Structure 1
Amino acid sequence: MGNKQSVKSHLENSQRTGVFQLTKAKLNEIPSDVFRVTTLRTIDLSTNHLKTIPTNIANFINLRTLILDENLLTQLPEEICRLTKLETLSLASNQLQTLPKMLGDLRSLRSLNLSNNRLQKFPIELRTIRQLDFIDLSKNKITEIPDGIGDMQAHEINLNQNQLEKISDDLSQCPRLKVLRLEENCLRLDEITRSILSESQISLLAVDGNLFDIKQLRDHPAYDQYMERYTATKKKI
């Protein structure tokens, strides 16, 4: 455990502010006293040595932000899905291989960072979260974007540096998807379909570092329609 006096001091502050932040403290577990402060709105325990999250994480019914970047987590308890007021969940640079089945119950979630983990499957459960704006799944081992993703509400999805070989044409149906990052994967040109280029809302499609030359994409019959959206977005900035 980290320094007990430091934990006590941070706890006292958190009771006043609603924020418990204790980073780079070499914590092996979440201090048990933290769970008594059920009014917390923000918890930041990034850059520690946490291997598990206790099931009583569900006690934090008012939690809006949970940051657990740079720990040693291999899985998450299903109870984390009871945090229905959670808006920001950041779990970058852990060792996660799977995610809770009920992840879609986080109905207030707006930003999800799962970059630099060991995930092999795209979390299709996220498609039911209506408020979700940003998903970062970069630096994982995901091999495909599955069918059934068409009602995903995210504005931006980052899948850079995965092992993608297949992406579903259903991406063209995502009603709010503006930014799709697919750099440094294993995609062939025919995975970038006509409907993704011509019928989607995507105005920034990043695909450098795949199994085709960008010039080949520019020669695609539907590329001009994508560029119209890209240019229109640039003019608004």
Structure 2
Amino acid sequence: MQTLQQLREGKYQGATSLKLSERLTEFPREIFELAATLEILDLSRNQLNSLPGDLGRLKRLKILFCSENLFTKLPEVLADLPSLDIVGFKSNLISEIPARALNPNIRWLILTNNRIEEIPAEIGNCHRMQKLMLAGNRLTSLPEELSRCRNLSLLRIAANRLTGLPVWLLDMPKLSWLAFSGNLFNIKPQAEAIGFISWDALQIDKQLGEGASGIISKAKMGDDEIAVKIFKGAVTSDGLPEDEMHAYIVAGAHPGLVQLRGQIAGHPEDKKGLVMELIPQRFFNLGITPSFESCTRDVFDKDLKISAGQALKIAGTIASLVAHLHSKGIMHADLYAHNTLIDDEGNTLFGDFGAACFYDRQDTRMAQALERLEVSAFGHLLDDLICLCTDPGHAALKRLRELSDICVDPEVAARPDFSWLDSEIALLS
């Protein structure tokens, strides 16, 4: 734990990274003593509402996090940081974004869970932008100038007040991960009824994991070992937990999905939850969430290697599953290796519906465009699988490479759909 007192004592001289969380109400001037080396500054979970006018003295600063503070507008002094790359002001009170605050160097901007009603047209000057997180605000529209951000790959606009999905978004050449649930234009299809399971019938054993939307625990129901996910109920960077739960139910059964047992009834805190099959311990995550450097692309354990046969099996399962989802009007919106579980045989389970969105299959143009947008994400996943292979000369991998290239064609309409990809990969197995 780094402290302000230690900073004042000069113990961080030469530091490249600093994190202070001590309910600060003012920016500590001592931070400027690290100007020659500081690259990452995290001032999240304080009570700050402004940054100093001479912040630009931090010439080497690349990453600035000021989440969970009291800012009411995005500070204009961000424009004075020449090396700025990643900015995070999640869960503040921001209602205003001055045009000048949008430093054109920014590659990754996080403004989740604020009070923003409008994005300035100057966002279009951020040509390096790859990742833009705007979920949980009050946006009623997006500026068309955002279409000039030709490198934008991931966009989160869920849980806003948008009355429609801008059609120009669907032509952006690199956009691969788009989450838009919880807006005024969204539909929520009827889900097939699944049974309710009383909370009293469950014996919670231990926590298995925790994500932005909920907590997963191992439990017993009679003699069966199962998994239980309890949703937190708050907006996440991807969207609303209630939409995640509904998408999982609508998705129905598929060999690539963890099977649902039922919904939870009678939780003592009236929380919503799902009961699922327990994933066997032999499964592990294929990928690791993107790093600061990789931004929108997963990273991988340096020791992880797979065979061409495993790659084909994984790719085939995912293609089949996502074709199944789109047949039901569901865009997963988070198609990544880090949401993919595999075992040593290449058996595959896919999950995490936190960003999932529903769309109207009857609107043919919109439906085709959204599916082909997600096809781009699948193309990146194929690229990851190929790079992990121990036998790059395998004949089938040449075809997988061709499919990967087709999937990320900058002309969105030129990309195939998932049913075609499923059949093409099946021919290689």
TM-score range, shorter chain: 0.7 to 0.9
Name the structure 2 match of 1:219. Answer: 362
Q: What TM-score, normalized by structure 1, do the two folds share?
A: 0.79
CA contact (8 A) 2:170 2:370 kept: no
Name the structure 1 match of 2:178. Answer: 180
Counterpart of 1:172 in structure 2: which amino acid?
L
After the TM superposition, which residues 157-172 of structure 1 pair with which residues of structure 2 at under 5 Å, given as runs? 157-172=155-170
Over residues 162-207 of structure 1, what are the superposed CA-to-partner deviations in whole Å (9 max), with x where a residue is unaligned?
Answer: 1111343222342322222111010167xxxxxxxxxxxx994967
Name the structure 1 match of 2:121. Answer: 124
> CA, structure 1 residues 186+54, in 2 after alignment: closer, same or farther (shift >3 Å)?
same
Residue 236 (structure 1) shift: 5.4
1:6 maps onto 2:3 in alignment: yes
Residue 229 (structure 1) shift: 5.2
Residue 224 (structure 1) shift: 4.1
After the TM superposition, which residues 58-137 of structure 1 pair with which residues of structure 2 at under 5 Å, given as runs? 58-104=56-102, 106-137=103-134
Aligned equivalents of 2:69, 2:369: Cα separation in 1: 43
Q: Which runs of 5+ in 2 are unaligned?
A: 188-330, 335-354, 382-429
Counterpart of 1:99 in structure 2: which amino acid?
I
3-state SS, counterpart of residue 158 of structure 2? coil
For residue 142 of structure 2, the aligned residue among 141, 145, 153 is 145
CA contact (8 A) 2:56 2:82 kept: no
> CA, structure 1 residues 229+132, in 2 after alignment: closer, same or farther (shift >3 Å)?
closer
1:55 maps onto 2:199 in alignment: no
Q: What TM-score, normalized by structure 2, do the two folds share?
A: 0.45
Residues 136-145 or 94-103, more deviating: 94-103
> CA, structure 1 residues 228+16, in 2 after alignment: closer, same or farther (shift >3 Å)?
closer
Aligned equivalents of 1:218, 1:96: Cα separation in 2: 36
Aligned equivalents of 1:140, 1:110: Cα separation in 2: 20
Residue 134 (structure 1) shift: 0.4
Residue 145 (structure 1) shift: 1.6
CA contact (8 A) 2:162 2:185 kept: yes
Name the structure 2 match of 1:16. Answer: 14
Aligned equivalents of 2:99, 2:373: Cα separation in 1: 35
Identity %: 23
Counterpart of 1:218 in structure 2: which amino acid?
R
Aligned equivalents of 2:149, 2:356: Cα separation in 1: 20
Counterpart of 1:152 in structure 2: which amino acid?
C
Residue 21 (structure 1) shift: 1.0
Q: Which runs of 5+ in 1 are unaligned?
A: 190-201
> CA, structure 1 residues 175+87, in 2 after alignment: closer, same or farther (shift >3 Å)?
same
Aligned equivalents of 1:232, 1:43: Cα separation in 2: 33
1:230 maps onto 2:228 in alignment: no
Residue 103 (structure 1) shift: 3.5
CA contact (8 A) 1:151 1:173 kept: no
3-state SS, counterpart of residue 4 of structure 2? helix
Residue 98 (structure 1) shift: 0.9
CA contact (8 A) 1:121 1:144 kept: yes
3-state SS, counterpart of residue 127 of structure 1? helix
Q: Please identify the structure whose Cα radius of gyration is greater.
A: 2
After the TM superposition, which residues 195-210 of structure 1 pair with which residues of structure 2 at under 5 Å, given as runs? 204=333, 208=357
Residue 120 (structure 1) shift: 0.2
1:32 maps onto 2:26 in alignment: no
Aligned equivalents of 1:170, 1:53: Cα separation in 2: 35
Residues 43-52 or 175-184, more deviating: 175-184
Aligned equivalents of 1:168, 1:236: Cα separation in 2: 24
3-state SS, counterpart of residue 3 of structure 2? helix
Aligned equivalents of 1:33, 1:70: Cα separation in 2: 22
> CA, structure 1 residues 13+19, in 2 after alignment: closer, same or farther (shift >3 Å)?
farther
Root mean square deviation, CA, Å: 2.7
